[in-house]
Structure 1
Amino acid sequence: MKKRQLTVAVVQDAPILFDKQSAMDKIESMSREAAGQGAELIVFPEVFLPGYPRGLSFGARVGSRTVDGRRDWERYWESSIAIPGAETRIFGELARELGVYLVIGVVERDQDFSTGTLFNSMVYIGPDGELLGKHRKLVPTGSERLLWGQGDGSTLTVIDTPFGRIGGLICWENYMPLARTAMYAQGIDIYLAPTADARDTWQSTIRHIACEGRCYVISCNQFATKASYPTDLACYEDIQDDADTLSRGGSAIVGPLGDYIVEPLYEQEGILISTLDLSLITQSRFDFDAVGHYSRPDVFQLIVNDSKQDIVRRK
């Protein structure tokens, strides 16, 4: 029998950008703080490790890149992690010690074929310390495409747990109706939506997803200021004239009928804590189940290619 309650924690903060150790230290300290408040599932924002480089151009213009911009990107690359790797083992030790599920947004370094590609990924760690899976963002948004490659259908990850099935999509992937449907079709109950979008329209998105998927939606954003940016970056001048607050946050928890369980948090760092009544998921699907009794497979069908897409196949 599934557990009927789950205490979740949503971390809204930012590390020192491009500083892997800063992110690791914050992951440990804020996980300990959240676990001390009874959290069983702790969620960190999109690319919390090593931070979301909002406002930075990396010296890129259409048709040209600068030497200094390449050096900044190399510094970002140096702050990325492998999955699995030394950092995920540290996360595992922390999760096992605290007895919690950890879900962390990271910049992942490809280690299968090329060491030159990064991915915007979400890593899942279980309370036994095991690496449960990962998800790679399918389509980086706008200028993000210069930094991160595209994920494939093999990491549309949903994980079975004692309290239900957890999974999610990253930021504007959540605007992809077919990607959402692929998650619903895996029976998702706790839908994670880490993001870098602090606009009011994002709140409409997460409330719609909760109501559409009849699931809890955990949305997690960074609260970031200029103080979290190293001033010795070549492209620091890109944000020099920007407002001090670069991301105002907006993390929130939404129930399976689209109502806020925890209202959005703005203009400050913090941890949102809530105990979820999981029976509401079943109750909410009484009159709407997007991939069940409210679907029409005789009219609409979705084909998902969930195989790993390798550029080289070895026999």
Structure 2
Amino acid sequence: MGEQKVKVAVVQAAPILFDKESAFRKIAGYVQEAKGNGAKLLLFPEVFIGGYPRGFSFGARVGSRTMEGREDWAKYGNSAITIPGTDTDLLGEIAREAGVYLIIGVVERDQEYSQSTLYNSIVYIGPDGKLLGKHRKLIPTGSERLLWGQGDGSTLTVIDTPFGRIGGLICWENYMPLARMAMYAKGIDILVTPTADARDTWQATLMHIACEGRCYVLSSNQFATKDSYPESLNGYAELANDPTILCRGGSAIVGPLGEYAAEPVYDTETVIYADLDMASVTASRFDFDAAGHYNRPDVFQLQVNEAKQSIVSFS
């Protein structure tokens, strides 16, 4: 049997947009705070490193783009990280010093082809500082498709820990029923959901997934204000009519029967904590197990292609 109790932390914060160093400073600070409070796992929001450019159009309209928008996007690319790379090495040092699992949403820059395509990714770091894996968002949502490429099935990552198996889906990937089923079939006990969705309906989503997967669900969102946007960015003027608070948060932790282990918090930068009883995951599956006894493989089957997709094959 593994460890039955674990304290986890979910960070609700935002760095300076397009400022990688700002993100790393916040990560280091919050890791130390969480360590002091006894947490063994920390989750940071969607694209915490690089930032979620809420409100920016990047000068894109149907049939045209502006040079100013291209310039902002280039700055965004410069704030991205490679996986692996020197930045994940630094994350490893932070995690190793604190002895915690570190799960962070990042803007990832492709290393294989043009080295310009960006991805919305999750990076997993172990308490020994080792890179354990990554996940690339399968389908960026709405206008996000101008910013990030599509991931493939090769990064449906699940990591083993002493207190259970952990996997993640990013924001609206969690509305993809087949993606959720793929994660359940991998035996996850904790689902992490870095997000940018601060709507009330997101809470219903978290509860549904927890009940459906009979797993803990950790959701981390940014609390972002206009103060985190440099006025020097070309797109800053687009925020003129937006409220001061651009993203109100709503980070939460939900247990395997759909009850809050930590209720959502809004309108503040904070860290929320919960003590997870991993034995309750097994107990919750007594009457429902989506990947086990409450399944009809003779009626429904899911095929998942986990092969890495390549655009060019060199012989």
Same fold (TM over 0.5): yes
Offset from partner CA, 1:80-107 (integer Å, 9 cap, x none): 0000011100010111111000000000
Aligned structure 1 segments of 4 or more residues deviating by more than 6 angstroms: none
Q: What is the CA-CA distance between 1:314 and the residue it aligns to?
A: 2.8
Q: Is 1:301–2:301 an aligned residue pair?
A: yes
Tell me the C-alpha RMSD between the 2 structures.
Answer: 0.6
SS in 2 for 1:9: strand
Distance in 2, matches of 1:178 and 1:138, equals 12
Distance in 1, matches of 2:258 and 2:314, equals 47
Q: Is 1:62–2:62 an aligned residue pair?
A: yes
2:147 maps to 147
1:244 maps to 244
2:310 maps to 310
Q: Is 1:42–2:42 an aligned residue pair?
A: yes
Distance in 2, matches of 1:312 and 1:36, equals 48
2:197 maps to 197
- AA aligned to 1:296 is R
1:183 maps to 183
1:22 maps to 22
Distance in 2, matches of 1:7 and 1:112, equals 38
- AA aligned to 2:4 is R
- AA aligned to 1:290 is A
SS in 2 for 1:296: coil
- AA aligned to 1:103 is I
1:134 maps to 134
Q: Is 1:233–2:227 an aligned residue pair?
A: no
SS in 2 for 1:122: strand
Q: What is the CA-CA distance between 1:148 and the residue it aligns to?
A: 0.1
Offset from partner CA, 1:83-136 (integer Å, 9 cap, x none): 001110001011111100000000000001121200000000001110000000
Distance in 1, matches of 2:201 and 2:245, equals 19
Distance in 1, matches of 2:87 and 2:35, equals 20
Distance in 1, matches of 2:123 and 2:313, equals 26
Q: What is the CA-CA distance between 1:237 and the residue it aligns to?
A: 1.1
Distance in 1, matches of 2:127 and 2:264, equals 27
Q: What is the CA-CA distance between 1:51 and the residue it aligns to?
A: 1.0
Offset from partner CA, 1:115-174 (integer Å, 9 cap, x none): 120000000000111000000000000000000000000000111111000011000000
Offset from partner CA, 1:188-222 (integer Å, 9 cap, x none): 00100110000000000010000000000000000
1:91 maps to 91
Distance in 2, matches of 1:171 and 1:35, equals 26
Distance in 2, matches of 1:158 and 1:66, equals 40
Q: Which structure 2 residues correspond to residues 144-293 of structure 1 after superposition, within 5 A?
A: 144-293=144-293
1:122 maps to 122
SS in 2 for 1:299: coil
Q: How many residues align?
A: 315
Distance in 2, matches of 1:95 and 1:299, equals 44
Q: What is the CA-CA distance between 1:274 and the residue it aligns to?
A: 1.2
Q: What is the CA-CA distance between 1:312 and the residue it aligns to?
A: 1.4
SS in 1 for 2:22: helix
- AA aligned to 2:141 is T
SS in 2 for 1:145: helix
Distance in 1, matches of 2:250 and 2:298, equals 40
Distance in 2, matches of 1:116 and 1:49, equals 17
Q: What is the CA-CA distance between 1:184 and the residue it aligns to?
A: 0.2
Distance in 2, matches of 1:115 and 1:69, equals 19
1:102 maps to 102
Distance in 1, matches of 2:68 and 2:201, equals 35
Q: What is the CA-CA distance between 1:39 and the residue it aligns to?
A: 0.6
**Uncovered stretches (5+) of structure 2, i.e. residues with no partner:** none
Deviates more, 1:261-270 or 1:232-241: 232-241
Distance in 2, matches of 1:22 and 1:64, equals 32
Offset from partner CA, 1:212-264 (integer Å, 9 cap, x none): 00000000000000000000111111111100000000000000000101000
- AA aligned to 2:103 is V
Distance in 2, matches of 1:75 and 1:310, equals 27
**Uncovered stretches (5+) of structure 1, i.e. residues with no partner:** none
The TM-score, its normalising length taken from structure 2, stands at 0.99
